[in-house]
Amino acid sequence: MVKKISLAVVGLLAMLTGMWVANRPQAEIIFIDGNTARWSDFQGQTVVVNYFAEWCAPCLKEVPELNAFASNLPPNTRFLAVSWDELDRPQLTAIAEKYSMTFDLAMLTPEAKLPFAKPDKLPATFVLNTQGQLADTLWGEQTEQSLRAAIVDSAR
């Protein structure tokens, strides 16, 4: 009888451990500096996500504007960029250094869990409002001013 109860307890503990592992919060975004984040970490903030690629001339042309925006973010705003190409940490780090990118870069691999589909053209910038809903999609090269205007518009 004691042996049956012991086996039942062990089985129950194994099942509960499996459920905990399967349901524990997972990182949805991994940055090249090794930090991770979940979308819930940005709750109540406006989030601006820029997709770029090294082969995209307008993407590289907007980097100084993105740096300026990221260095002086409006209150309650988060900015990050994602490479359209599935590059690893060393490759993205090299690109960030080569083009003097001073903003947060997120990796697509392992697959980032972003609240919108990967764009089919670049550059693309997504603005999520403070409720976490997609408020705007900006196509083409952006400036610090156009990003600030998009944030103001997303609050309406």
Q: Which residues lie below 8 Å from residue 98, measured CB to CB, with a gap of 6+?
A: none
CA distance 156 to 149: 11
- Condensed to tens digits (0 to 9), the pLDDT of residues 73-128 reads 999 999 999 999 989 999 999 999 999 999 999 988 766 677 888 899 999 999 99
Single pTM value for the model: 0.80
**Residue 101 identity (one-letter amino acid):** M
Structure tokens of 149? Answer: 């205007």
Phi, then psi, of 89 in degrees rounded to 5: -55, -50
- Condensed to tens digits (0 to 9), the pLDDT of residues 19-49 reads 433 343 455 889 999 999 998 899 999 999 9
